Amino acid sequence: MAEIKIYSAVVCPYAHRSRLVLQEKGIDFDLIEINLQNKPEGFTDISPYGKVPALAHGNHRVWESAVINEYLNEVFPQPPLLPSSPIAKAQARIWIDFANTRFVPAFSALLRSPDIQQQEAAKQELYKHLEFIENEGLGKLSGDGPYWFGESISLVDFTFYPWFERWPALKHYRGLALPEEFTRLRRWKKAVKQRDSVVAIANSKEFYIERYARFATPVAA
């Protein structure tokens, strides 16, 4: 039995974040898959919000993916997944917050909204966020490297990536491909996608198209 237990759901992008961090750090863990439509009795003893991911480390519990990931980075410091300087670390946290409060809500609104006008508004909002990532994030922080902070992958990369692995569902149901003009973003996605930690738990585009069918209907031809 491993020291770490991660409570996860394969379709959940938030849980995906924390599993990526565990994989990247080479931490031994037990994976406990939770059916979010039929949660086991006593699950809120582990996850008070009743959500995944949740982490059990000995007698300690941690929940919320961004907090879990920082906890793992502190308790298992190698390889480090945050920059060392205070300002760079602050920038990383700003981008993690941007993902949680701006990027992810726009992605979800576009995929889940049944209203065409709301979809169009969400599509414009999401495009604006992609443009901001391209220019203000990768354009100013990554230098010549492929990742958010250059040559070294970080929690920021793993914070955003699960939604990009799910992008084929957005393209299939809402007709939004990752725009060609965002060359840094496309390079970033390719680099992260090829990492061993990402490949180890990756799912196919068909998997996400099938799993997200209940949230959306295909764009009419």
Per-residue pLDDT at 1: 65
Catalytic residue among 5, 6, 9, 12: 12
Whole-angstrom CA distances from 96 to 31, 79, 151, 160 are 24, 19, 18, 8
The predicted model scores a pTM of: 0.94
Cβ proximity of 15 and 65 under 8 Å: yes
Residue 221 pLDDT: 43
Architecture of the 86-216 domain = Up-down Bundle (1.20)
Strand order from edge to edge, sheet including 60-63:
29-33, 4-8, 54-57, 60-63
12 catalytic per annotation: yes
Q: Where are the domains of the chain?
A: 4-75, 86-216
HSE, CB side, 13 Å, CA atoms: give it for residue 63.
Answer: 13
Q: Are 176 and 220 in contact (CB under 8 A)?
A: no
- Please write the tens of the pLDDT for every residue from 151-206: 999 999 999 999 999 999 999 999 999 999 999 999 999 999 999 999 999 999 99
Q: What is the CATH number of domain 4-75?
A: 3.40.30.10
The predicted model gives 57-67 an average pLDDT of: 95
State what percent of residues in the chain have pLDDT above 90.
Answer: 87
